Amino acid sequence: MYTIKTYLMAQTLDEAYSALQKNKSNVVLGGCGWLKMARKRFWTGIDLSRLGLDRIEERDGWLELGAMVTLRQLETDPAARAVFGGILPQSVERIVGVQFRNCATVGGCVWMRAGFSDLLTALLVLETEVELYHAGRMPLETFLALPQSRETRDILTHVRVKLDGRDAAYQSVRNTATDFPVVTAAAAHLGQSWMVAVGARPMRAVRVPAAETALSAGAMPEACRAVAALGYAGNLRGSADYRRKVAQVLVRRAAGEILQREGKQ
Ligand SMILES: Cc1cc2nc3c(=O)[nH]c(=O)nc-3n(C[C@H](O)[C@H](O)[C@H](O)COP(=O)(O)OP(=O)(O)OC[C@H]3O[C@@H](n4cnc5c(N)ncnc54)[C@H](O)[C@@H]3O)c2cc1C
pLDDT greater than 80 at residue 12: yes
Report the side by side order of strands in the sheet with 193-199: 167-174, 181-190, 193-199, 206-207
Question: 135 CB under 6 A from ligand 1?
Answer: no
Q: What is the pTM of this model?
A: 0.97
- pLDDT for 79 beyond 70: yes
Sheet holding 62-66, edge to edge: 56-59, 62-66, 156-162, 128-132, 136-139
Give the chain's radius of gyration (CA, Å). 19
In a domain, 110, yes or no: yes
Residues 64 and 158 placed together within one structural domain of the fold: yes
Q: Is residue 169 part of a domain?
A: no
Domain of residue 76: give its range: 56-162
- Residue at 17 is within a domain: yes
Residue nearest atom 46 of ligand 1, based on CA coordinates:
28
Closest of 237, 204, 7, 174 to residue 112, by C-alpha: 204
45 lines ligand 1 (CB under 6 A): no
Do 30 and 119 share a structural domain? no
Quick check: CB of 146 below 6 Å from ligand 1? no
CATH at residue 125: 3.30.465.10
Q: What is the mean pLDDT of residues 30-56?
A: 96
Which of 115, 133, 162 is at the close of a domain? Answer: 162
Quick one: which atom of ligand 1 is closest to the CA of 71? 17
* Pocket lining: 119 vs ligand 1, CB cutoff 6 Å: yes
Residue whose Cα lies nearest atom 32 of ligand 1: it is: 108
Compute, in angstroms, the gap from residue 216 CA to the centroid of ligand 1: 34
Name the residue among 135, 129, 130, 128 with its Cα closest to residue 154.
135
DSSP 19-71: HHHH-TT-EEESS-TTGGGS--EEEEEEE-TTSS---EEEETTEEEEETT-BH
User: Same structural domain for residues 99 and 191?
Assistant: no
Q: Which atom in ligand 1 lies closest to the alpha carbon of residue 35?
A: 29
CATH code for position 222 = 3.30.390.50
Q: Is 26 in the pocket of ligand 1 (CB under 6 A)?
A: no
pLDDT in tens, 189-225: 999 999 999 999 999 999 999 999 999 999 999 999 9
Residue 105 near ligand 1, beta carbon < 6 Å: yes
Same domain, 120 and 186: no
Q: Considering the domain boundaries, does residue 174 fall inside one?
A: no
Asked if residue 170 belongs to a domain, the reply is: no
Q: Are residues 37 and 80 in the same domain?
A: no
Of the candidates 99, 98, 58, the residue with the CA atom closest to the CA atom of residue 81: 58
Please determine, for residue 37, whether its predicted confidence score (pLDDT) is greater than 80: yes
Q: What is the 3-state secondary structure (H, E, C) of 74-139?
A: HHHCHHHHCCHHHHHHHHHCCCCCHHHHCCCEHHHHHHHCCCCCHHHHHHHCCCEEEEECCCEEEE
Answer yes or no: is the C-beta of 65 below 6 A from any ligand 1 atom.
Answer: no
pLDDT at residue 150 greater than cutoff 80: no
Taking the centre of ligand 1 as the mean of its atom positions, its distance from the CA of residue 221, in whole angstroms, is 36
CB atoms < 10 A from the CB of 90, how many?
20
> Closest residue (by CA) to atom 1 of ligand 1?
96
**Among the three residues 133, 162, 191, which one is the final residue of a domain in this structure?**
162
- CA-CA distance, 125 to 195, in Å (whole number)? 5
- Around Cβ 237, how many Cβ atoms within 10 Å? 18
What is the per-residue pLDDT across 90-123, written as a single tens digit (0 to 9) for each?
999 999 999 999 999 999 999 999 999 999 999 9
CB-ligand 1 contact for 33 (6 Å cutoff): yes
Distance (Å, whole) CA 261 – CA 265: 8
Q: With 90 as the cut, is the pLDDT of residue 148 above it?
A: no
Tell whether 158 and 183 lie within a shared domain: no
Q: Which residue, 181, 186, 189, 247, is CA-closest to 215?
A: 189
CA 87 to centroid of ligand 1, rounded, Å = 19
The reply to whether 81 and 158 lie within a common domain is: yes
| Percentage of the residues of the chain whose pLDDT score is greater than 90 | 95
Shared-domain flag, residues 60 and 150: yes
**Could you tell me if 36 and 97 lie in one domain?**
no
Q: Do 157 and 210 fall within a single domain?
A: no
| Closest atom, ligand 1, to C-alpha of 157 | 41
Q: Where among 162, 188, 217 does a domain terminate? A: 162
Residue 38 has pLDDT above 90, yes or no: no
Percent of the chain with pLDDT over 70: 99
Structural domain contains residue 173: no
Same-domain check for residues 77 and 134: yes
Q: Ligand 1 centre from 83 Cα, in Å?
A: 24
| 200 close to 116: Cβ distance less than 8 angstroms | yes
Indicate the DSSP class of residue 180.
Answer: P
Q: Residue 219: inside a domain, yes or no?
A: yes
Q: How many domains does the chain have?
A: 3
Task: Give the Å distance between the CA of 226 and the centre of ligand 1.
Answer: 30
Q: How far is CA 54 from the centre of its chain?
A: 17
Q: Are residues 90 and 155 in the same domain?
A: yes
Residue 220 lies inside a defined structural domain of this protein: yes
Q: Is the pLDDT of residue 151 over 80?
A: no
- Tell me, using a 6 A CB cutoff, whether residue 35 lines ligand 1: yes
Host H or E run for residue 208: none
Residue 152: the pLDDT is: 73
